[in-house]
Structure 1
Amino acid sequence: MVEQTTSEPAAGSMPKISFGVKKREENKVQAPAKAVVIEVDLDSDEEREKNEMERAAKRRKVMHFEDGTVQGDIDKPKEAAVIPMVVEHDWRTQKLIEKEKAGTLTEEERAKLALVLPNGIDGENEEESGKGEKIVVEDGRGDTEDADYSAIPIESFGLAILRGCNWKDGDGIGKNPQKVALKLPNRRPPGLGLGATPKNPVGKNKNTGESSKAEEEKLEEIKVGSFIKVVDGRNKGVYGKVEGRDDDSNSLFIRTAIGGKTMKVSQIVAVAVSAKEYERDSKCLNKSEYDKEKDRLETERKKLESQPPSTSTSQSSKDYKSKSSSSKHDKNSSEYERNDKMWARTDLLVRFIDEDFKRGSLYEQKVRIVDVAGDNDVTIEDDRGNTHYNIRQSWLETVIPREIGEKLMIVAGKRSGQLAVMLDKDKRKEKVTARLVATNDVVTAYFEDVCSVKIRHEEDYE
């Protein structure tokens, strides 16, 4: 604090000014002493009621203020709904009830009425009459046109009827009643048809053999910001991040990891994935083909490891081994040769066996080979005339003609590429007998060494 003092100037002299500095006194605020809390048992009804009102006031929603007090909706405690059982009285019981109301009922008639109506006329003797929210059912037998079905939730309707029949929650029913836990069915997701169940429940992780860190990571319910994978439908295999939910139609709005497109998918075909899996697999274009090829290589590796190398030195053991494997080698020689060499040729009628190509639209269909440029570059034509390029030979398999006399082509062995006419077919031995078109020689071949043909231009084979 600065103080300024001036003195009266004398005649013919300058005024004198002096300054002084004083320290400001600080008023420190002392913390109040800690309040001592004493637990007191609330035995009186007034104190209990006051405590309940205070707890309700803490939870209620503030709407507005009136005269300095908070005004809002006080949530009333929900009680179990009770639908009283409708009792139909015959004319004798109705006559006794009218006498009871008129006050002219005798003692004998009162005893009869007590036997007919053990709970009294209006159910005043019922033990549970004061508990629960009762829904009054009038005696009128007319059809109710404006029934308010929203007065009670649909899941509580059955229990409300049982309570109206003097049933208590938790009691068993039957000759030997046993208390059983109440089992309520799970609510079906919206949009799921009757009898249908989701293939992959939300939050389940199929990869149980992952590291401990991945096992500890729990996948919660799908919400905004969650990572998901589409496991069925036309967008199968697509990874994305949830940007919004539509609970009315049970759908999700996601942004795809590849392309950044926004699309709407059903929550039934979406499964939550961890951030680690999303970062590892979301950018893979052909994840299904990669997994299939990986499994095939793993199977071949295990098969080779299970076959120990030959360590026998005696000639007799070698001869025995060669004799025992000769029949198997002869049977699989053509298959071994076909796997190492190209067997696909133009005009062959083959079956498409890959499930993932174009979401399975060609699976198990017969297609015609139009051109062959390599193992992984086969051009085919489907029954609708559509042409498909860059087809792998491993996605195709041979087809055997149905009728005798149809043409086929030999696709393995020294006669590979020659046309023939099928003369006989032995399904038990899996062999066909055919006559070569060029030389009229009759040959026998296994099913896997021949294939049906669909020739467009006969002059190409003359």
Structure 2
Amino acid sequence: MASHGEEAGASNSAVSEDHGERKAAAVSFGFTKTVSKFKHPTADAPTKKAERDYLTGIDRNELQSTKPSEKPKELIIPLIQKNRWHKPDRAGQKEGKPEDTTRDVDSVESQAVKELIEDSRRQLEQYQNGSQVDLNLSIPLLMQNKAPEGFEDGDHVKVDLRPESSTEADYESVPVEAYGLAMLKGMGWKKGEGIGRTFKQDVKPIEHELRPKGLGLGADRSAIKDLEPQRRQRPPKPGEEREKEEELVMGAGGCVLVESGAHKELYGKIEGVDADNARVVVKLAIGGKTVTISQYAVKLVGRKEYDKYGKDLSRLSKAHKDKEREKEKEREKDRRRQEEKERSSDDRAKHKSSERDGGRDERKRKHRESSQDREKPPVKEARRPPPPPSWLQRDLKVRFIDKAFKGGQYYNSKMRVEDVLTPSTCVCRTEEGRLLDDVKQDMLETIVPKQESDSVMVVLGEHRGQVGRILQRDKNKCRAIVQLDRYEEKVFTLDYDSICHYVGATDD
């Protein structure tokens, strides 16, 4: 008991001391107004040490370290084989059912969800590990993924059946340009492989390039440099180092020469470029005026040329222009003189070689001409190809096939041969009763009647001019079995080109 009392007294004294300390702390806080936000680490909370990464080497443009960064995984959106519909229980089914039935339904639904998740995971692994295709998918996806029966119809659509919509975080995690590729990869597409069932070919997509501003369709900006006159450079002397050519850029600070317009033949510096309208802002060297000119009306020049001629007023005088014109003529004469000299030297070299071998070539030529004269057969006149056989007859029903005659007015129309003027010309009557004169044979073609009762005439061969009827047709070989009126006991196999529809009077 004594010990218990001592402990109680000690505890009371400790509590009183704590109260005293708290009061003192409260007074000091009120006077000093200090707030300590720093928290000292306790023994229970372990301190986190900064993990250091050490550089081990450099491979081309890649830094190698002790902790290599994870490479981004290939994004694939697998094809949905089965939609996960949210099927709410009907109110009528819920009423009057015990709790154990509800639990069974929940367990069955959870089991179905697990199976669907496992099925989708298995399909994704199967796609990533190998190119295997499920050949048992015979149900169309639209029918397979349709809404469950009994929940909605054409007029009533339940939105709560659909899957959950994507959140903003989903859109941020998948870039827009990678979304379409991820869907195609989930359907089986692979980069570099063609698509299709039989004719697999990797077709490159058409990439439309922005055409240069201010130029026509199909213009190539690189062709402008090819059109510019280029000076011939002499070969460098031994030990001579050629200075690097100054790179000319159509940008701020570039030197230009105006080639056309109101400020022609003036130098200036580019202060700005309007890429949308293909214009440049140029500050002229003479006068300091700032003007806006089309970028196709200026020519880029080097810094040396700009410093030499930029502010030279004598360059614009008439005397200077005449002097430059004379220099240009002299350069043209020198160029022509050099070309003639090179041509004459080549001719002399050829003449010397021909004189050296002249005697031998002359003997060979004479021998060759004499042998050719002996072996050459007498020249025969070129034979003309024989004209096509004439098949025109009166009272034939033919088809007009000439597109140029009368502007194609009678093309592919049927008409009747009224009279034959020559073996290759005739007079025809159209179905409207109009007569056409001087119709050539090559403007027409024969017609084989479709009905069995129609008569035909043989227009080519030994039975030409005989009338009969068709007994049987062979469309694959374009032949017909014909019985002629003169030969009632015989039948003849004739080509379609040898017979034609006959609409004249018969012996019957």
The structure in which a higher percent of residues are strand is 1
Bigger relative contact order, structure 1 or 2 (CA pairs below 8 A, ≥6 apart): 1
TM-score norm. by structure 2 comes to: 0.28
TM-score norm. by structure 1 comes to: 0.30
Larger Rg belongs to = 2
The structure in which a higher percent of residues are helix is 2
